[in-house]
Structure 1
Amino acid sequence: MTTSLEERMAHLIRAVDDLSETVARQDKEIARLTGRVEMLMMREAEREANSPGSVYMGDERPPHY
C-alpha cells in the first residue's frame, strides 16, 4: 500500500510540475501578446490623430475598382 501511495504521489507531483510549467509559459505568451496589442493600439491612435476626418475601413475596396 505504501508503494502505491508513493507512486500516486510521484505522478501527482509530476502533473503539478507540468501544469506549473504550462502556466509559466502561457503567462509569458500573454505578456508578449499584451505588449503587441498595446503597440498596435498606440499605432492606430497615432494614425487616427494624424488623419482627422477620414475613416479607414480595412475591408473597403479602393475607389478605382
Structure 2
Amino acid sequence: MSATSLEERLTELEVRFAFLEDAVTSLNSSIASHDRLLMDMREEFRRMRSELGVVRSSLSHDAASEPPPPHY
C-alpha cells in the first residue's frame, strides 16, 4: 500500500468521523428537546387528571344528601 493511498483513506475516515460526530451532536440535542417536551406533557397530563377528579367529584350526585321534595 502506498503512503498516498493510506493518507487518502485516513483523510476519508476523518471526514466520515466528523460527519458522524456532527450527526450524534444533532441527535443528542433533538433527544434532549423531545425529553423536555415529554416531561412537560406528562406534567400537564397529571394536572388535567387532577382537575378532572375535582370536576367529577363536584358533579357527582348523591341522592341521600339532598333534602326531600316539598310534597313529602
Same fold (TM over 0.5): yes
Q: Is 1:43 matched up with 2:54? A: no
Cα deviation for residue 32 of structure 1 reads 0.5
Between Structure 1 and Structure 2, how many residues are aligned? Answer: 53
Q: Which runs of 5+ in 2 are unaligned?
A: 1-8, 62-72
Q: Going by fraction, where is helix more abundant, 1 or 2?
A: 2
**Alignment partners' CA distance in 2, 1:49 and 1:17:** 48
**Alignment partners' CA distance in 2, 1:51 and 1:26:** 37
TM-score of the two chains, using structure 2 as the length reference: 0.71
* Displaced runs of 4 or more, over 6 A: none
Q: Which runs of 5+ in 1 are unaligned?
A: 54-65
Deviations 1:7-49 (A, max 9, x none): 0000000000000000000000000011111100100011001
CA RMSD, Structure 1 to Structure 2 (Å): 0.7
Q: Is 1:20 matched up with 2:20? A: no
TM-score of the two chains, using structure 1 as the length reference: 0.78
**Alignment partners' CA distance in 2, 1:49 and 1:13:** 54
